[in-house]
């Protein structure tokens, strides 16, 4: 019987003898392609990076989260398909761009404090320490605009004491380290208000709860989230761009990567 089988096999055409092998190869190619795709999606986050590389990766994630909040697309892909975080950039020109609850609003603390009920008009400001701008309804422009948080290192020691923060009108000249206000004009253009320039820091509690971020970036400081332990305070500037200040000394010249991570 064995000899008969060998004889029959020897009479098969070459293509017939290779058919099973070709199927195996095709299956292997498909498996390798799938593994490669999965790796392309996940491995970059697992590979070791330099401190600057990790900072840049955090910035890209934060920028995409901010963009998602602005456009109103869901932070996660929809269960039934549709636009989610991974396809957000390519979808911005689509018919449904701009749809959603958060359309056009930056996810900053300014949005949390949107309103004029307790806002401080510039005409009423003094050069004393300001303590009234931590409540809600104190920022008339809310999340519709960005700005630069302004901290002054008056004593020049390059050290911020976050436990003793003070806020002053931007035109004042206090003798202690302090934050400054920003002057904004209400939408109708009839009144000027001063707001805490720390309002422009990104509220990452909002981004995480809205599922625009999976987790708190390691670089994020307490200025962005109560549980932040990072070295950078992320904010949205006047042009709507995401940038950072060094948490320990957030002077205007401390933007961008500062040779430290997280």
* pTM, full prediction: 0.76
DSSP helix/strand/coil, 142: helix
**116-154: buried (b, 16+ CB within 10 Å) or exposed (e) per residue?**
beebbebeebeeeebeebeeeebbbbbbebbbbbbbbee
Q: 56 lies in a domain?
A: no
**Residue pLDDT, tens place only, 107-162:** 999 999 999 999 999 999 999 999 999 889 999 999 999 999 999 999 999 999 99
User: pLDDT category, 233, cuts 50, 70, 90?
Assistant: very high
Summarised one tens digit per residue, pLDDT across range 7-28 is: 445 555 554 455 556 666 655 5
In a domain, 252, yes or no: no
Q: Which two tokens stand for residue 60?
A: 């890209």
- Specify if 167 maps to a domain: no
Residue 78 in any domain: the answer is no
Phi and psi at residue 195, to the nearest 5°: -130, 160
14 within some domain: yes
Tell me which residue range forms the domain holding 41: 1-47
75 band by pLDDT with thresholds 50, 70 and 90:
low
User: 3-state SS of the chain: helix, strand, coil percent to 5?
Assistant: 35, 15, 50
């Amino acid at each position: 019987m064995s000899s008969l089988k060998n004889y029959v096999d020897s009479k098969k055409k070459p293509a017939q003898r290779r058919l099973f092998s070709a199927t195996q190869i095709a299956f292997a190619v498909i498996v390798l392609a799938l593994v490669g795709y999965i790796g392309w999606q996940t491995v970059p986050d697992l590979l070791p990076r330099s401190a600057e590389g990790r900072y840049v990766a955090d910035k890209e994630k934060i920028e995409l989260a901010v963009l998602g909040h602005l456009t109103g697309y869901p932070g996660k892909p929809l269960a039934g398909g549709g636009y989610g975080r991974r396809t957000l950039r390519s979808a911005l020109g689509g018919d449904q761009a701009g749809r959603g609850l958060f359309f056009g609003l930056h996810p900053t603390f300014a949005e949390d404090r949107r309103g004029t009920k307790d806002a401080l008009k510039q005409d009423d400001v003094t050069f004393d320490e300001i303590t009234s701008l931590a409540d809600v309804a104190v920022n008339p422009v809310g999340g519709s605009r960005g700005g630069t948080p302004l901290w002054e290192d008056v004593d020049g020691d390059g050290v911020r004491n976050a436990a003793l923060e003070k806020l002053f009108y931007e035109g004042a000249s206090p003798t202690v380290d302090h934050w400054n206000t920003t002057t904004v004009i209400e939408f109708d253009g009839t009144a000027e208000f001063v707001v805490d320039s720390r309002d422009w820091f990104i509220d990452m509690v909002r981004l995480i709860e809205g599922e625009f971020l999976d987790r708190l970036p390691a670089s994020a400081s307490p200025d962005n989230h109560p549980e932040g332990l990072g070295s950078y305070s992320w904010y949205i500037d006047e042009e709507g761009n995401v940038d950072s200040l060094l948490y320990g000394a957030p002077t205007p010249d401390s933007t961008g990567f500062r040779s430290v991570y997280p």
